Amino acid sequence: MCDSIAHRGPNDAGYLVEGPVALGMRRLSIIDVAGGHQPIFNEDGTVGVVYNYRELRAELEAKGHRFSTSSDTETLVHLWEEAGIDFPRRLNGMFAFALYDRKQQRLVLGRDHVGIKPLYYSQTSDGLVFGSEVKVLLESKRVQPRLNTDAVAQYLSWEYVPGAATLMSGIHRLEPARTLEIDLTTGQSTVRRFWNPLTANGHATAHANGRSDADWESEAQEIIHQAVQRQLVSEVPLGAFLSGGVDSSLVVAAMGKAQTFSIGFDDPSYNETQWSQRVANHLGTEHHIEIIQPQVRELFDHLMHFMDDPIGDFSIFPTYLVSRLAGQHVTVVLSGDGGDELFGGYETFLAQEKARTWQRVPSWLRHGVIEPAIEALPPQPKKKGLINKAKRFVEGARLDSAWGHARWRVFCDEVVRKRLFTSDARRSIQTPVGAHIVALQAEARDRDERDRTSYVDFGSYLVDNCLTKVDRMSMACSIESRVPLLDRELVEFAFRLPSRLKYDSTNTKILLKRIAARQVPRECVYRPKEGFSIPIKNWLKNEFRPLVEQYLAPERLRQEGLFEPAVVKQLWDDHLSDRANNSHLLWSLLVFEQWRDRWGVTA
């Protein structure tokens, strides 16, 4: 089981097998490189932990706890003794841990506040199996890879499976800010949530009144600086991803001197390296750029090994490639993930604002004239452009307005589901397309629409897509990616911030851009958002064409009985002939079929 995730920790391995408990870990040595071997126990050896500080350590030492190492992990066992099951709420950072208390005969699993680090588990007739990746559970031979068809429908709709479910029946994710406690004498298990940004510190983090914009900007800048400084603790080389956008620029500016990394593609509409170079020159970093012409077929096979809980986000490619570049120089990197979700950075927010105006256009004009005219336009080969944006806006605007801005992220709605899945498969699909969106909005029902939008992104797209992607691809290169903009204090600040400082009908990330514009060239800050992507719609028609035609072959799909072969063939034919850009759905189908083959998943 440990060997299957050696890429997560190539430097060390540790094991404990005792009575009803077997713990194993792989270690990427970063803090206390020489002395941080795990599992780590307390003074009398009754509490042990494997873990995926300084202020907490000093506090615990003052209360009489004795530490035998300098490892950050050792703090957990002493904090458990001091605070019990609620101890994770005291932490600030990324973690996934398993803690075993010999005296109390309890095992506690925990996952960090935001969900930066993964933790999977399965409760079987033989007991509980858990690990950082699904392949760990499969290696136990106690979990069978059986398909969860309901989750497949969610995956194709959103390019990820929301919440606790996975594509394999019986395998679950421990959701963020949760502990799973197992009483080893009775076998009883309890899941608890220890933190929610909307109600942090025991009271609603309602917006403060009477403060000027300058006050909010000053506080944000200070919290960002402190968050970045907390992430610089390392005994090994450390650097940062730098795209030249707002979030990564803010992180690098707060670091001081640093090594920075970015990649580009030879297609100019997918190459932003000129912006990262300008920011790097301005901040004086040691900047590394690589223009990539990857062997995408071979790279696909390699990356799919790390997608045992797959996502359909094709930006796994650039994320892996920039991680590989960074791994040639450093062991730890800082990234700017989280800024868009918390501070209103996506173009879909603007689309939602524009949709209100769109709905005021007479129905006969919208549906009878404008939409057919836009749909008739062929998609353009470049990354975005007016035509591509207009086509995507019209597609999303037709979907359920209750999903808010998230409707522009849906690529398989209820109409497509009914056509795509066979009648037999549809009987296993119980979860409506936007169920998790509606549930998250209900949790934030006392907030205004923009806050609800942030909370929806924070609770779904960020953790189940973006953080999953960065964790998998950085760990595939055996480097640790840290996310200072998801510091607990900064997250809580974001949900106190007046929503008018997040975005409006024309501008995104208002507050962060004001701060960034004082630290890097203004033209790098106030430019159209590009996103971290690849020319996948062209790659599908060229480099990936043999794979598509292999894995989505009608005879194969007919034998599986999950998807209607004729519908998939129509999607592919329309994409090949440029009648439509079906790259998102086709790519998700390709990844799914390859995943199913690789892991031997049965119906």
Write out pLDDT tens, residues 186-235. Answer: 989 999 999 999 988 544 445 556 789 999 999 999 999 999 998 887 77
What is the percent of the chain with per-residue pLDDT over 90, rounded to a whole number?
60
Identify which has the larger pLDDT, 273 or 569.
Answer: 569
Torsion angle of C-alpha atoms 324, 328, 333, 335, degrees rounded to 10 = -40
- Scan for tokens 């809980």, then name that residue: 309
What pLDDT does residue 12 have? 80
Check pLDDT > 60 for residue 56.
no
Check pLDDT > 70 for residue 399.
yes
Averaged pLDDT for residues 332-336: 95
d(CA 75, CA 57): 6
What pLDDT does residue 384 have? 64
Lowest mean pLDDT among 53-67, 106-120, 304-318: 53-67
pLDDT digits (tens, 9 = 90+) for 228-249: 998 887 777 899 999 999 999 9
pLDDT digits (tens, 9 = 90+) for 3-12: 999 999 888 8
How do the domains of the chain map onto residue ranges?
3-199, 205-297+314-344+456-525, 535-603
Strand order in the sheet with 120-124: 127-131, 120-124, 172-173
What pLDDT does residue 99 have? 87
- Residue 361 DSSP one-character state: S
Binned at pLDDT 50, 70 and 90, residue 491 comes out as: very high
Check pLDDT > 60 for residue 517.
yes
Binned at pLDDT 50, 70 and 90, residue 295 comes out as: confident
Lowest mean pLDDT among 201-205, 447-451, 460-464: 201-205
- Scan for tokens 């040595």, then name that residue: 29
Binned at pLDDT 50, 70 and 90, residue 268 comes out as: low
CATH for 205-297+314-344+456-525 is 3.40.50.620
d(CA 134, CA 70): 31
pLDDT digits (tens, 9 = 90+) for 349-366: 888 888 888 888 888 888
Averaged pLDDT for residues 257-277: 84
What pLDDT does residue 211 have? 86
535 vs 177, 391, 541, CA distance in Å?
A: 36, 18, 10
- Scan for tokens 């009271």, then name that residue: 203
- Residue 197 DSSP one-character state: G
Check pLDDT > 90 for residue 180.
yes
Averaged pLDDT for residues 81-88: 83
Q: Strand (E) positions, 321-477?
A: 332-334
Averaged pLDDT for residues 95-103: 87
CATH for 3-199 is 3.60.20.10
Check pLDDT > 60 for residue 57.
no
Contact 152, 167 (CB under 8 A): yes
N- to C-terminal Cα separation, the chain = 24
d(CA 278, CA 276): 5
What pLDDT does residue 203 have? 45
Q: What is the largest CA-CA distance in the chain?
A: 77
Q: Could you tell me the pTM of the whole model?
A: 0.90
Check pLDDT > 90 for residue 553.
yes
Binned at pLDDT 50, 70 and 90, residue 64 comes out as: low
Listed ranges 67-71, 79-83, 572-576; the one with the highest mean pLDDT? 572-576
Residue 66: exposure state from Cβ atoms within 10 A (0-12, 13-18, ≥19) = exposed
Lowest mean pLDDT among 19-33, 419-433, 446-460: 19-33
327 vs 100, 321, 382, 443, 478, CA distance in Å?
A: 33, 10, 30, 40, 7
Mean pLDDT computed over every residue of the chain? 88
- Looking at the DSSP assignment, which residues form a beta bridge with residue 12? 27
Q: What token pair was written down for 497?
A: 């911030």
Binned at pLDDT 50, 70 and 90, residue 98 comes out as: confident
Residues 6+ apart with CB under 8 A from 514: 213, 217
Q: What token pair was written down for 47?
A: 């509490």
Check pLDDT > 50 for residue 52.
no
What pLDDT does residue 380 have? 72
What pLDDT does residue 193 have? 96
